[in-house]
Amino acid sequence: DTAVSQTPKYLVTQMGNDKSIKCEQNLGHDTMYWYKQDSKKFLKIMFSYNNKELIINETVPNRFSPKSPDKAHLNLHINSLELGDSAVYFCASSPYERSLLNTEAFFGQGTRLTVV
């Protein structure tokens, strides 16, 4: 069974459209993340949710709105898409137990978004 799954895997859309990327994890983790990977492979955190509450919101345009209906899901909605939004978006999850400092994050396969 896939631990962290994202849909769609590929998304091609026109400028100005609104699109969503869905993410689900079946690991029972409390914390979920969205990362953006640009064309040079640089990875940067966008958002982090813990038990459906936003805990990290980096300097991301407010056209990007994460939504967490429950702790197993963290969807990313993007309004008014721009050419510069083209990237690979990765969802990830990890436990939040403070005693487990060495816990890694588990990543989805990524969604390649191309804005034309």
Partner 1 sequence: GNSVTQMEGPVTLSEEAFLTINCTYTATGYPSLFWYVQYPGEGLQLLLKATKADDKGSNKGFEATYRKETTSFHLEKGSVQVSDSAVYFCALRKAAGNKLTFGGGTRVLVKP
Residue 16 CB, nearest approach to partner 1 (Å): 29
90 vs 17, 100, 107, 111, CA distance in Å?
A: 20, 23, 7, 7
3-state helix, strand, coil in the chain (%, to 5): 5, 55, 45
Q: Is 17 in the site for partner 1 (CB under 8 A)?
A: no
CB of 82 to partner 1, least distance (A): 23
Contact status: 75 vs partner 1 (CB under 8 A):
no
Q: Count the Cβ atoms, other than its own, within 10 Å of residue 96.
A: 14
Mask of contacts with partner 1, 33-72, x by CB under 8 A? x------xxxxxx--x-x-----x----------------
